[in-house]
């Protein structure tokens, strides 16, 4: 089994086919989208392929260590993840091909007009634990 991270993007990915921003959807379209996501996760729980998921709020701040006793540095020259990443899901699957299959299915979540979004999802393998060396 290998774990993969599926990232849902607000922007930054190639444009989806049905790219109407969620803040322009009707309430029932948002409900249908969330229902699809919940049913998708439930199906993966049943197959044992679900690890975790979380939608993300649009608020966020960059923080970095800038020396002892110094305040963190926030807001840089780069886009913040709050503008880019809408949520994530981690799956644990038998193969890369299965991860691709599930990402494609998740991409079909309904959006405006009840039609599939066909959004691009970022699929990234999680690093495996490093081997333990004993002497």
Provide the residue ranges of all domains of the chain, joining segments of one domain with +.
2-57+73-125
Task: Give the global pTM.
Answer: 0.74
CATH topology of domain 2-57+73-125: Alpha-Beta Plaits (3.30.70)
pLDDT digit string, tens, across residues 73-104 = 655 545 555 556 778 899 999 999 999 999 99
85: which DSSP letter?
E
* CA 63 – CA 98 distance, rounded (Å): 36
Q: Which of 103, 115, 117, 114 is nearest to 49 (CA)?
A: 103
Contact 45, 120 (CB under 8 A): no
Below-50 pLDDT ranges, the chain: 77
């Amino acid at each position: 089994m290998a774990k993969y991270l599926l990232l849902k993007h607000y922007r930054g990915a190639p444009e989806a086919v049905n790219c109407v921003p969620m803040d322009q959807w009707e309430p029932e379209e948002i409900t249908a989208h969330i229902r699809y996501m919940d049913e998708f996760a439930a199906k993966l729980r049943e197959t044992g392929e679900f690890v975790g998921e979380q939608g993300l709020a649009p608020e966020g701040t960059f923080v970095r260590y800038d020396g002892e006793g110094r305040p963190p540095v926030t807001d840089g020259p780069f886009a913040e993840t709050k503008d880019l990443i809408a949520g994530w899901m981690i799956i644990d699957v038998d193969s890369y091909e299965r991860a691709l299959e599930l990402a494609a299915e998740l991409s079909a979540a309904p959006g405006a007009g009840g039609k599939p979004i066909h959004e691009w999802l970022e699929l990234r393998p999680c690093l495996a634990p490093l081997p333990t060396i004993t002497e």
